[in-house]
Each structure stands twice: as structure tokens, then as C-alpha cells.
Structure 1
Amino acid sequence: HETQTTCWDHPKMTDLFQSLADLNNVRFSAYRTAIKIRRLQKALCLDLVDLNTTSEVFKQHKMSQNDQLIGVQDVISCLTTIYSGLEEKHKDMVNVPLCVDMCLNWLLNVYDSGRTGKIRVQSLKIGLMSLSKGLLEEKYRYLFKEVAGPTEMCDQRQLGLLLHDAIQIPRQLGEVAAFGGSNIEPSVRSCFQQNHNKPEITVKQFIDWMRLEPQSMVWLPVLHRVAAAETAKHQAKCNICKECPIVGFRYRSLKHFNYDVCQSCFFSGRTAKGHKLHYPMVEYCIPVST
């Protein structure tokens, strides 16, 4: 394989990607993408990996040169450290060799589709951190820190590199069009315009901008909402399929009193008599206490 660029997928990775096709009926691209990424995140056990752990492993493996290209063996070594530590906490859930194989496979698909056998250090960091476990704003802080210079400020080029690496995640799932395509320039411009076109931005300015859910990155906050909604049980009945209680996202009509829809019916566009798809709805990802 030294000279060839054969694209090889682990059989379980092939199965996973085939299963993601079931989600293509979700009408809204940000949700469709986030639900696919959530399924991928859980299959790779990255939903169990703390952001802090990921960051510490990068330091342990001396991955400080973001522009450096690293080979497959170095990636495997880093992933083995992450998953071995995870196995100690979650013995019954983590199969280290399988997780390493699957995660390596995914990283190569996202950042080395030409199969050169090399990945930029920064791409590895952005990919793993985007799918690690942590609070959303903490994740923004970590991502910013990885691309910012020693002054803890970030210029347009550095922000562009961060957004470029992040958007490869939905791109690999065939979902890039909804997020402005592979061109991240408009997003970079909007961030710096919001900050009076100063040459550099601070972490606070970056987080404030990310709170606006810019087009190229909206899938990331939606991924966090999807994860939060997974175990939510709402004491309400879906007016379409009659599911009760509603599990996951709950959508409540602003037009009709006491009209609730579960996420499955809402995402697939099912309706009940007298309720149109264009009617405004409010989303709940956690149960509302009375």
C-alpha cells in the first residue's frame, strides 16, 4: 500500500456509514448532520472522552506543532493512549483495538481522503476535540486555544484553518452544502466584521460569535442539543403518532393550544389534520418543569 491510495474501510465502519443513510429523511440539514455525527461519535466512543483528557494526551505526545504532518503510527499511538485510559473507566463499553481502528479510519476519511498516510497535527486535534465530551462553550474555548498563537489571540488565517478543519466533519458525511460549502471565507469575514475588523480576536469574541451559530459551524451546537435531548422524557403525547411520553426533542405548536409533536414526526414532516408544516413550533430539548 506504500504507493497506492486504496480507500479501505473497516467492515464496521462500512456498516456504520450504511446505517447513516437511514437518517436522510430528516428534513433539516443541521439536525440531520448533527444526528449523523452523534451516531458516529457514539460508535467511536468519543462521547465518553473528556475534552481535558484529549488535550492532555496531545501534550503527552508532544503534539505542539500544528502544521506538522504526522504518520499513521503516531496517530495510532495517540489514539491508543486515549482509548486505553477510557477502557479503565468503561471496561464493558470500550474495545481498545476496535476503537483505535475505527477512529483512525474515520480520521483518515475526513482529513486524508487521498490516503497519503499523513494528517496535520491541527486536523487531528480539531477532529477529536469536536467529538469529545464537554460543555459547548468549554469546547469553543479548547478549539480556539489550539489555533491561537502564544498571545492567545487569533488572526483571520488561524480562524480560517480552524473552520476549515471543523467543516471537513460534515463534508465527509456529504453534508457540506448546507453549511456554506467548503468556502469558509464568509464565516471568517463575519466574525472579524463583528469585531470591527481588528487584526486579531480574543477567545471571548470568538465565543460570542459562536453563540450566534454561524452557518459553517451551526452543526456543532445542534450536536450538543441532540445529545442533551436523547434521554429527555416529556410528559406529553405526540398528536401525530400518539407516542407518550415523548422521548427526545419535543415540538410544541405556537398556533394550536396543547399540540405536541415528537422528533421523529417533526423531522420527517408528518402532519395531522388541521396542522400545517409551516406553522411555528417551539423546541424543547429538556423537560419543562411546571
Structure 2
Amino acid sequence: MREQFRNHQTQTTCWDHPKMTELYQSLADLNNVRFSAYRTAMKLRRLQKALCLDLLSMQTACEVFEQHTLKQNEQLLDISQLVACLTSLYQRLEQSHSHLVNVQLSVDMCLNWLLNVYDTGRTGKIRTLSFKTGIISLCKAHLEDKYRFLFRQVASATGFCDQRRLGLLLHDSIQIPRQLGEVASFGGSNIEPSVRSCFQFANNKPELEAAMFLDWMRLEPQSMVWLPVLHRVAAAETAKHQAKCNICKECPIIGFRYRSLKHFNYDICQSCFFSGRVAKGHKMQYPMVEYCTPTTSGEDVRDFAKVLKNKFRTKRYFAKHPRMGYLPVQTILEGDNMETWGSHTNTHTHTHIHTNTDKRHK
């Protein structure tokens, strides 16, 4: 069974390591980010760094999985097995990042997180698939390499996946934002609409091949959009844009840069954009383009042409033609698309996202 931690000052016990409690408390600082996909991704990025998983390559993770013969994905792993596997992971990381990795603390915290995500019943066990899903989702790897790995875990020996197996993967994936209290923004805990969406995309074939799954994931389905956004957040962290924020006047803009496709020379930094601040004359429903890396001359020309076109469009046009930056999932009961970015804001400010996250790490 899972061990509880005792606070000797308050004489109380809890399931979380004291450092984990501090980390969760620090995530509250990000609750002012209005768009839930970005709010969730920024929380996960902080979690990823605290667990040192941003240092873990997929190759190293796979070698450790192999070392511990984690092949039966529906097999349950107990605490001792999880600790043994995590210890191997972090000992590998310590060899190349000794100044960053405290093996014992990292094992304790990662175990704490995995159990919070996948062992809500406090049984002291989680499935092998759950363990792999959690580790790979937050490791350092190309986004599509993560998709390929996760698909292989639920595919048959012939390389195809049926609806039940896809459901297992999506269920384990959605537990990651659920643990942060963000699951409602990604369609809720019911994964059936997402499974149905994927197989409808594959022309309702009885089984799904990897290429079709990848094509569906590239559309950023609502239940999984937090993962590519996490990659964009990581890519944008050190980006420096030679532009000035029209609201707070920050120059250069560090992080995400949001450029208006309605007004010339109108840029917003990520802090102002995430808090919903706008300058006079600019509406939230106007289209914006997001950059997590500095723009190229070709992108500048393309955006200039779009601004010219949008100059002749009215506010009514943008209100009547909202666009989403993700693939919405439709439920059977409600019949309406559930919103990803949060009901208190417009979705189509995220319509145009120009970044090749497949080539980004973390």
C-alpha cells in the first residue's frame, strides 16, 4: 500500500510528499491564464521540470522499460516495481545531469505524481500502460515520436488498434489534465466521443492504423490538445521576438508572440494575451497568429497579405465566422461541441498557430 507522509508541525498525515505539496501550491499562480489549454500546458511544464522529466529522452525511457520487462501493458505494477523502474530512470539521468538530479527526491516525487494521476483509489498499483503513458507524455522527445510510441502500446501484433484499445490509451492520457482539475476543458472524463471521432476520421473502419491515428492527432483533438500545446510552451520559453507589445510595451517580446491579422504592426506578449488584455480598437474576436519561434521573412510577408485581406472585413464577419485551433469532440447527449479554451473567452483567437512542434523537444 501507499505510504502517507506525516507533518510533524501540524500532526497530520497526507498522501503528498512535502515538496509535491509545495509544487501543487505553486501551480495556483497560473490560474490567471484565461485559456485552459495553455493554463494546463504551463502547469504541466512546471511539473515536468520539477520531476526532471524534461531531461529524459524517449530512448532512455524505452531502454529502462525493456530492462524491467514492461511488455504486458495491462499488467499491474506495485509500489516496489514502480520504485525500481523510476530509480533506474533517474540513475541514468544523474549520470549526465548530476547537478540537476537528486535521485531519491525525484523518485519520490514522480511516484507521488503517478499515483495521484492513476491510483485515485489508493490501491498502491497502476497499470503498465498508465506508467508508460505518464512518463512518455512528459519526457523529452519529438511530439510525433510520442504519438507513435503511445499508439504502439495499444496496437495489436499486426500494427492495428481497435476502439477498445484506443479507449484505454485516451483514458490514461486524459487522466493527466484531470489530476490538475482541468478535465472539463478537454471534453470531460468520458473518452467515447474521442474514440468515435477518431474512427469516424478513419472512415469507420473496424481497426485503425498508425498513419491514420497520426493524421487525427495532428488535428489536435480536444481531448489531447494539451500535449501539443505543452510542446509549444516549451519551444517558446527562450524565444526572443524583435517586436514590442502594444499593451505593456515589452521589447523584445520573450516567449509567445501574438500578431494581429486585422491591424498592421500590432503585437501582444504572452502575459497580456493570456490575461485577456487588449489595446483600444482591437477586439478579442479578431484573428491572431501565434509564434513560439522568431518569424521568418516569408511568414512576415504572408501575415502582411492576410492583414490586407482582413482590413476589408467587419466585426460582424469575425463574429459570424469563428474558427477553432483544435478538433472539437461532439457528445451524443448534448449534441454541441464542448469548448476547449474556456467558456469565458472566444476560441478563434487561437485559429492560426504557425509552429512545427514535431521538430521541437520537450
Q: TM-score band, normalised by the shorter chain?
A: over 0.9
Q: Which of 50, 73, 93 matches 2:57?
A: 50
What letter corresponds to residue 79 of structure 2 in structure 1?
V
Q: Which residue of 1 aligns with 2:198?
A: 191
Partner of 2:138: 131
1:248 aligns with 2:247: no
Tell me the distance in 1 between the aligned counterparts of 2:36 and 2:3.
38
Aligned AA (2:167)? G
Q: Is the 8 A contact 1:7 1:115 kept in 2?
A: no
Give the number of equivalent residue pairs. 290
Residue 210 of structure 1 aligns with which residue?
A: 217
Q: Does 1:69 align with 2:76?
A: yes
Cα root mean square deviation, aligned: 1.5
Q: 2:236 aligns to what? A: 229
Aligned-partner SS, 1:119: strand
Please list every run of at least 4 consecutive aligned residues from structure 1 whose deviation after the TM superposition is greater than 3 angstroms: 1-4
Question: How far off is 1:279 after superposition?
Answer: 2.1
What corresponds to 2:172 in structure 1? Answer: 165
Q: Residue 94 of structure 1 aligns with which residue?
A: 101
Alignment-derived partner of residue 116 in structure 1: 123
SS class of match (2:264): coil
State the alpha-carbon separation in 1 of the partners of residues 89 and 3 from structure 2: 30
Once the two structures are superposed, residues 149-179 of structure 1 have per-residue CA deviations (whole angstroms, 9 ceiling, x without a partner) of 2111111011000000000000000000011
1:150 and 2:147 matched: no
CA distance in 2, matches of 1:124, 1:2: 16
Indicate the SS of the match to 2:203. coil
Q: Which runs of 5+ in 2 are unaligned?
A: 5-12, 298-362
TM-score of the superposed pair, with normalisation by structure 1: 0.97
Shift of 1:258: 0.4
Give, as a single letter, the amino acid of the residue that structure 2 aligns with 1:62: T
Pairwise mapping of residues 5-84 of structure 1 onto structure 2 (< 5 A)? 7-84=14-91
Match of 1:220 in 2: 227
Give deviations 1:195-218, integer Å, cap 9, x for gaps.
121111111111001001111001
Using the size of structure 2 for normalisation, the TM-score is 0.78
Would the aligned equivalents of 1:180 and 1:216 in 2 still touch at CA under 8 Å?
Answer: yes
Task: Give the Cα–Cα distance (whole angstroms) in 1 for the partners of residues 69 and 2 of structure 2.
Answer: 26
- Is the CA contact 2:36–2:185 (under 8 Å) kept in the aligned structure 1? yes
CA–CA distance in 2 between the matches of 1:196 and 1:122?
27
Q: Report the counterpart of residue 104 of structure 1 in structure 2.
A: 111
**Distance of 1:252 and 1:189 partners within structure 2:** 35
CA distance in 2, matches of 1:232, 1:33: 20
Aligned to 1:216, the other structure's residue is in SS state coil
Question: Take 1:222 and 1:151, find their aligned partners in 2: how far apart are those partners?
Answer: 31
Question: Using the alignment, how far apart are the partners of 2:213 and 2:280 within structure 1?
Answer: 45
AA paired with 1:232?
A: A
AA aligned to 1:175 is E
Q: By how many angstroms is 1:256 displaced?
A: 1.4
Q: Secondary structure at the match of 1:14?
A: helix
User: Conserved in 1, the CA contact under 8 Å of 2:3 and 2:15?
Assistant: no
For the pair shown, which has the larger CA radius of gyration, 1 or 2? 2
The one-letter code sitting in structure 1 at the alignment partner of 2:170 is: L
